[in-house]
Amino acid sequence: MSLEASAREANFRDSIKKFFVDNIETTEGVPVTFDKALSSPNIQGKEVERWVSIVIGPIGFDTLSDAIVEVYCCSRRDNEGYKLSQLRDKVLGYLIDYNMIDGKSRIDFYQSSYSGAWTLIGKILVWDILQSGDIIAPDETKFKTLTLLLKVPMNV
């Protein structure tokens, strides 16, 4: 027996990836990496000065499950951290929705497909956002971590 679409981890992961690629990489022009923590991406052999790295953490398994996603906003060659602050603001702009009465953003939750169209099956709620202070890595990368607590509706 197969899991219902909303209970599949693969659909959750694909939906999170789509959200960040569509908004941060495609719309804002900022490279996005997944599961690489602070590793900077190379774009056609050129090192970038700002990027976002997404690490998908644990996902609960219940009717309304909790999931944790860590968003690392990273910059290099950023003397006073101004580029980092601008990047954090761009990312946060997609995670807060002032048009909603609660101010919480919703991420489209899809049933993904390798070869066909994706089907919208619900919304993932950005329940809370915890932000770190500025951190400097040994290689001079400056970063902030936005830890997202998400609520995921599942038909279990």
Residues of the chain with pLDDT under 70: 1, 36-45, 156
Q: What is the pLDDT of residues 40-59, one digit of tens each?
A: 666 656 778 999 999 999 99
The whole-number pLDDT of residue 42 equals 63
The whole-number pLDDT of residue 156 equals 59
Structural domains of the chain ordered from first start? 5-38+47-153 (3.30.2000.20)
Helix (H, G, I), strand (E, B) or coil at 128: strand
Rounded Cα gap, residues 153 and 5, in angstroms: 11
Closest CA to 64 of 110, 144, 141, 6: 6
Q: What is the chain's alpha carbon radius of gyration, rounded to the nearest angstrom?
A: 16
Rounded Cα gap, residues 154 and 156, in angstroms: 6
